[in-house]
Structure 1
């Protein structure tokens, strides 16, 4: 994830550069050279002494260009040194290019656009906008948002896939247990089925499926398969938007103030109500009250002796 933001910027700049035409690059280069020669505040209009700037008419531009071209013509530097003559020729060439741009309506509009919005600057391998320079804080915030968004979306996708995976597994097991049919057996018997990954399942007559597991003592216990045990709509508290700042608080200011933010999230299966479990709990208590001492026979069977009165 640490490469997400640089890649995002690279793609953004690539799209920007892709929208620049060869004429734009010519304007960028000419603007850079004129500012290097005449000063950072110099523009095409200020060089031609056009006081109305972008609002100057074509006639005003032609008149100003002719006047400046006569003043900067290289012939006036014929008696100067070679370096001065070369510099004069280069300046006159730039003036000619400026005249061509300002007298072409489409090129003039492009120049005026960059003059208003700002020119990109040369950064070694190309022109990039440098008006906005993100600092370390901004980069960290953007990374935090990107990572948190990606994590939350991935979490929801994975939960949804797990939910559907359990549904598909239950359908597969039922088909095997009930003879390629979704109709339960008429005798109301329980069926045991082994899945492709060699896990053993028990199928009840009403279609409930439980995973059969064996602990280290050899005792079997059953885990009911229920897709509703998976929260397919994780909330804000399960995202990095909440977990990261809450975790930082708990290990820093939370320790100093003694107040910690609860980060655990409890999820209750919406298909299982507490009322449906209550009778079973009562029945178990009543039954256990009449049992005596627990005895395990040699064959592994467990019985209870009669309780002494």
Structure 2
């Protein structure tokens, strides 16, 4: 109901704007100029010196008397007397005309509208080329920010789905509290579980994504043995990421690169561009699982190494098979001092079985 009321008001306003004529615009200009010159609240009748119900003869008599008061010959040296005298003549002409007076009486009773239409403002305040360009830049930047915000919300909902699905598959969520029976989050400290989540919610036909749940955090595994937090994939929008500010920043960085090193060193720290660092990725290390323990529930070692990678990492959308014989090469110093690289079998049931076989052979 409110929407229909707003639409009707909008249509009524648009109809009134379209109905305004050139004579209406002239009345608007006279009202604004009269209040600016004679004072706030001065209307045509007060300026001429008659009541709103005055006849035409009374208006003519009052006009002749008022014109003598404002005549430039009787007011030498008075500022803006010529404009005031000419304005009085135009106002008297509108009040003497039946059509003009009827139109002014409409605005006299209902008030002069504050918004007078784009045509009125455009005809009186024509924008220059610089004003037009600034308006277009601001408008396009606002739309770009809106698109960034919509994309961020969309990606955030997608990430929330993957996180909730991975935690549910790993048994982190869905535990019922004994006190009030509400769903609570129970983090599994120091344990890592690999799960597969459908790419499309409620359907396995679109493929699955392999994720790693460590405690209550969800990561994306990479082929080099690193884990990337899935929560960091959605970047919140900001004004600095819109196209205009990004263009200015890129040109500023290119301009700094062309300066001599001595000049670059003299630039203050807050004016120097910030280097974008890559995400902190946790090294995916696993210990040897004990007999009868699944490799998916292997405790995570406390001395997990962390390293910072610069640049962008290509994220794989398809996960490696659970029984894949892929290996990770780690530098290790042998007792004989050769420092050779040893291949460590990847996690999974197949990897655990191979390690048990190798232990029996030894």
**Relative to total residues, which structure has the larger helix share, 1 or 2?**
1
Q: TM-score, normalised by structure 1?
A: 0.47
